[in-house]
Structure 1
Amino acid sequence: MADGKRRAGVASPVDGGWGWVIVGCCFMMTVCTRAVTRCISIFFVEFQAHFGADYAATAWIHSLVDCSTMLCAPVGSLVGNRWSCRVAVMTGGVLSSCGLLLSSFSTSLEQLYFSMGVLTGLGFALCYTPSISMVGCYFQRRKALAYGIAMSGSGIGTLVLAPAVQLLIELYSWRGALLVLSAFVANLCVCGALLRPIRLQEAEEEKPSLVLQHDAELAVKLPKEPAPAPGGSAPLLQRRRCFSSRLLSCEEYRFLLLPDFLGLAVSFLFLASGCSLPFVYLVPYALSAAVSHQHAAFLVSILGVLDILGNITFGWLTDRRCLKPYRLACYIVAVAMEGLCCLFAPLLRSFPLLVPFAVLYGYFDGAYVALIPVVTSDVVGAPCLSSALGVVYFLHAIPYLISPPIGGWLVDVTGSYTATFFLSGSALLASALVLSAIAGIRRCRRRLATAKHEPFPRRLPHQSDGLSNQAAAS
């Protein structure tokens, strides 16, 4: 009995206990992946000066890291579901550390495209989705807060790493800085070792019983076979298991047919087209406005601090009973505010004016990043969260790949950063508008469904006369 209770406790979201260790591992994972990716923009000017490249060619490094991370996100989900999250994260830690190590010896931009862009990005992809999905397995009631703390690693890492990387570049050049980052990213292997697997009982309860029903039908329709002798084969049993496995795999991706998820996917495409540009071009833009290198790096630190506050405060607030039904609305507000900040950025031509931009953009960036897995879980359900996050981050890949070079091309053509920030702001506002339209359609659809299926209709067609006569008599 005690053993059964122990197994039952392990098989459901615990909202605490070892779950906080999982949150800590996911926190460190975001430090080693997203914060390091953001700090690549600090190498931007160094790469330009060393290789004599223009903005567009140098921007491909950052875009390839982001694109590889998001494009291979389904691979991370697949490895995590097929083997374990522990295997996925530890393998990703080795690949990303080796990628940064090779980058420190690069002699051309093309080598950086492969080592830093492809190899490091692939390693980050294997770590990112499995770690995030593990938090959803261990938390249910305080899911938004847990995700807020876990995703705040991106902001805290940016806060600490931005000045540290700038100092490392000044002391050891960009090659030495990449060597140090390679050793730092190797800590992902430690994080992966701490990811204890858990059976999500909620997934088994919420998942439609299609697989179980089909197995029961097979048991009725197919003749029972005698137990195979030792060393013998059971082809029918193998076929039955194979079919059930394929059916279960289809069930894991059934969310792709949901209209709400399709609308969410379109909004993510616009979001990914605009959200990375400020992180890539804020430091070069500040330098073009006669801001010193230290102050420009400090702007990135401000982004990191407010990113932390956005992660945690929005995670905590949207877990409150009064705001829990309005998580999607909070997400829309955060994305829209980011878009407005980008539209006003070209008017800010000094360090004191760029500080409010960094404050607002960093806060709302942290807010929406913390809510992405929560909103996705609300749409597709906890059982499909890992696969859905793989698809969601996969949708970020192509926009992450092409938007920084397009932004650099606009800088080269126009000679200013105005068009680049306008592109970012317009894409973010488009994402918010798409989600607003989806939310409005859902509200109208619910009202129509409620009107069609009233539990106590006022008048039935065949009882209209009787009800009228009773009313008259009363």
Structure 2
Amino acid sequence: MVVVGFNFKKRRNLALGIAMSGVGAGLCVFAPLMQMAMDFYGFSGFFICCAGMQSNLVTFGMLCFPSQLENHSHILRQRDSHSLSTGKNVFKRKIMPYINVCRKKGIVCLCLSMFLYCTGSYLLFLHLPKYITTKGFSENQAAFLISLSGLLTVVGRLLTGVVANIPNCNGIILYAGSMAVISITTIIYPFFSQHYVGHLVYIIFMGLFVGSCYVALTTVSLMFVGINYIATAIGLVFMFGGVGAILGPVLAGILVDSGGTYDQSVIVAGVCNLIAAVCGAFSTRFAAEGTDGISIFVEKTHTSEEGRTSKEKF
């Protein structure tokens, strides 16, 4: 996401949608391929195949050379550091700009939003296949629905990139709105899960909207920080999302092991997603902050008629 953000400007959202659609394609294609690898090669061969795929990430990552914007942003971050008082120690001068990112109220809202969204989403992903089979449907039917969600995720992320690239499109509405759609459909999902059509309708909504917030995240983050600190902002938001991804499956296990039902765990996931949508929408209150305190600045030298020089930062 950061690399794409540094390489595109006018069509950044569209590029993000295309790039992130690979997640859904991988879910749809590699899940059955990995099952075939495990059946043919056994567990040892299966993990070797996984390691080989992971090594390709390094290869493609090495092809992502820094763009001019990324190099320029690096220079600006150094200027931000040196612009602080010389009396401060080197560590404080280096770390203060990043602390200012953490202090942004809009970024804090996005962190809470992503934490709750990942908590609910990973709780749901853990129980969804089992939940479908407990409603009287076969494992093959459950596997088909999961694969269908991956295919629809490709479509959903591409469409999100197209919509987000429309001029005057509100990124926060797109970000929080997709979470709201997922939360509402998840909360009412148990009430029509007795029918296979009900599962199918839910999977369609989930596939189309579950990844939309990730596509819009870069644009939303740029409302609170400058492009020179976008990597810090996205990294911070996803750190909280990672904590939620850890807690979600744990919470799911506790709910079922303590006597709860899969219906209850699905509703809890929907409530988490709903609160995440509210936190994301609430961040718009702080969009007026802009990038104060961590903004990109440029020094411009002026020479007066008397021969005096002065520097202006803006």
TM bucket (normalised to shorter chain) is: 0.7 to 0.9
Q: For 1:379, what is the secondary structure of its paired residue?
A: coil
Aligned to 1:143: 12
Aligned to 2:150: 304
Aligned to 2:178: 334
What's the C-alpha RMSD, in Å, of the aligned pairs? Answer: 2.8
Q: For 2:258, what is the secondary structure of its paired residue?
A: helix
| Cα distance, 1:210 vs structure 2 | 4.6
Q: Quick one: which of 167, 188, 203 aligns to 2:73? A: 203
| Cα distance, 1:175 vs structure 2 | 5.2
Aligned to 1:153: 22
Q: Quick one: which of 133, 136, 145 aligns to 1:287? A: 133
Aligned to 1:346: 190
Aligned to 1:194: 63
| Cα distance, 1:286 vs structure 2 | 1.7
The answer to whether structure 1 residue 260 and structure 2 residue 106 are counterparts is: yes
Aligned to 2:277: 432
Q: How does 1:31-430 map to 2 (within 5 A)?
A: 132-172=1-41, 176-199=45-68, 200=70, 203=73, 210-211=80-81, 213=83, 243=90, 246-323=92-169, 326-347=170-191, 348-414=193-259, 416-430=261-275
Q: For 1:428, what is the secondary structure of its paired residue?
A: helix
Cα 1:188–1:316 shift into 2, 3 Å = same
Matched residue type, 1:334: S
| Cα distance, 1:202 vs structure 2 | 5.4
| Cα distance, 1:424 vs structure 2 | 0.5
Deviations 1:158-211, CA, capped at 9 Å, x for gaps: 111222234444545555433422322221121122121234265368769554
| Cα distance, 1:297 vs structure 2 | 1.6
Cα 1:366–1:402 shift into 2, 3 Å = closer
| Cα distance, 1:307 vs structure 2 | 0.9
Matched residue type, 1:184: M
Counterparts of 1:307 and 1:277, CA distance in 2: 18
1:252–1:383: 8 Å Cα contact kept in structure 2?
Answer: no
1:309–1:366: 8 Å Cα contact kept in structure 2?
Answer: no
Aligned to 1:119: none
Structure 1's unaligned 5+ residue stretches are 1-131, 219-238, 447-474
| Cα distance, 1:321 vs structure 2 | 0.7
Deviations 1:214-242, CA, capped at 9 Å, x for gaps: 6xx87xxxxxxxxxxxxxxxxxxxx99x8
- What TM-score do you get using the length of structure 2 for normalisation? 0.81
2:111–2:238: 8 Å Cα contact kept in structure 1?
Answer: no
Cα 1:151–1:432 shift into 2, 3 Å = same
Counterparts of 2:213 and 2:230, CA distance in 1: 17
Which structure shows the bigger proportion of residues in helix conformation?
Answer: 1
Matched residue type, 2:235: G
2:25–2:154: 8 Å Cα contact kept in structure 1?
Answer: yes
Aligned to 2:309: none
Q: For 1:378, what is the secondary structure of its paired residue?
A: coil
2:105–2:283: 8 Å Cα contact kept in structure 1?
Answer: no
| Cα distance, 1:411 vs structure 2 | 2.1
2:129–2:143: 8 Å Cα contact kept in structure 1?
Answer: yes
Matched residue type, 1:289: K
Counterparts of 2:215 and 2:142, CA distance in 1: 26
Counterparts of 2:230 and 2:155, CA distance in 1: 25
Q: For 1:414, what is the secondary structure of its paired residue?
A: coil
Matched residue type, 2:7: Y
| Cα distance, 1:350 vs structure 2 | 4.3
Cα 1:246–1:285 shift into 2, 3 Å = same
Cα 1:416–1:213 shift into 2, 3 Å = closer
| Cα distance, 1:154 vs structure 2 | 0.9
Give % identity.
22
Aligned to 2:297: none
Aligned length: 287
Counterparts of 1:187 and 1:205, CA distance in 2: 30
Cα 1:169–1:204 shift into 2, 3 Å = closer
2:175–2:280: 8 Å Cα contact kept in structure 1?
Answer: no
Deviations 1:296-342, CA, capped at 9 Å, x for gaps: 2221111111111121111111111131xx11011111000111121
Counterparts of 1:171 and 1:349, CA distance in 2: 36
Q: For 1:361, what is the secondary structure of its paired residue?
A: helix
Aligned to 1:472: none
Counterparts of 1:191 and 1:377, CA distance in 2: 26
